[in-house]
């Protein structure tokens, strides 16, 4: 019986250690996003800063200086921005985990809104702050939507997709997109560069996420 208890304890200890390691990676990734968001905010013109404050106030219906989860959900449902109606995005934005966002925390949310970094794993449906994998066929073949999954779901094969799918990490997609932009005719180059803009954001913080790309 004692041996069983020890074995069970060892398994639990391993699981807790794994969870703590994953939590540290996510924390580092979010800290990088916060730093980027703050840097962008500091360089915004005064009129754009006022616009961000106006957006914050529009979310903060009861004018208590913070955005609750219900206010958050109500705002994005009203705006029909379905990509943001995920609790994992709201939870990731909060630094002190008190269930609401003050303006400093909302800067990150507003930055993500503008930059297109609100990427949700299509397997576990969690917000991906760091590196992730995309189906290259869906990405480059003009599919209606991309198929993006987090490192954990990809590494653990915890997803279902079409047969023969080839998955690439952000760095690879960035490199391939750059090559496509260089090779594209001048009149189409702007569209290709627009595609690069969408993937450059998360790729830049892949190292901070601690995700090892094979």
d(CA 155, CA 63): 44
Residue pLDDT, tens place only, 122-176 = 999 888 888 889 898 888 776 566 899 999 999 999 999 988 888 988 777 777 6
Q: Alpha-carbon dihedral of residues 207, 98, 100, 210, nearest 10 degrees?
A: 10
Burial class (CB in 10 A: 0-12, 13-18, 19+), 42: exposed
Max alpha carbon distance in the chain (Å)?
74
pLDDT tens sequence for the chain (214 residues): 555 555 545 544 544 444 555 556 666 778 888 898 899 899 999 999 999 999 999 999 999 999 999 999 999 899 888 778 888 888 888 887 788 999 999 898 888 888 777 888 999 988 888 888 989 888 877 656 689 999 999 999 999 998 888 898 877 777 766 666 666 666 665 665 565 555 444 444 333 333 433 3
Residue-range domains of the chain with CATH: 2-115 (1.10.238.10), 132-209 (no CATH)
Average pLDDT, the chain: 76
Beta bridge partners of 68: 100
């Amino acid at each position: 019986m004692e041996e069983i208890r020890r074995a069970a304890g060892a398994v639990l200890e391993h699981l807790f250690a794994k969870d703590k390691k994953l939590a540290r990676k996510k924390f580092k990734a979010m800290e990088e996003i916060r730093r980027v968001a703050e840097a962008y905010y500091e360089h915004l013109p005064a009129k754009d800063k006022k616009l961000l404050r106006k957006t914050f106030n529009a979310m903060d219906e009861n004018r208590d200086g913070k955005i609750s989860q219900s206010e958050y959900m109500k705002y994005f449902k009203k705006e029909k921005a379905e990509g943001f109606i995920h609790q994992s995005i709201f939870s990731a934005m909060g630094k002190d985990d008190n269930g609401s966002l003050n303006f400093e925390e909302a800067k990150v949310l507003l930055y993500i809104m503008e930059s297109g970094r609100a990427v949700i794993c299509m397997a576990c449906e969690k917000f991906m702050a760091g590196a992730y994998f995309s189906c290259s066929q869906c990405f480059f073949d003009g599919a209606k939507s991309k198929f993006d999954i987090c490192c954990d779901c990809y590494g653990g094969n915890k997803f279902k997709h079409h047969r023969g799918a080839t998955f690439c990490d952000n760095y690879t997609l960035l490199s391939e997109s750059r090559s496509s932009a260089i090779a594209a005719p001048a009149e189409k180059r702007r569209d290709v560069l627009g595609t690069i803009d969408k993937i450059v954001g998360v790729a830049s913080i892949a190292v901070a996420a601690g995700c090892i790309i094979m």
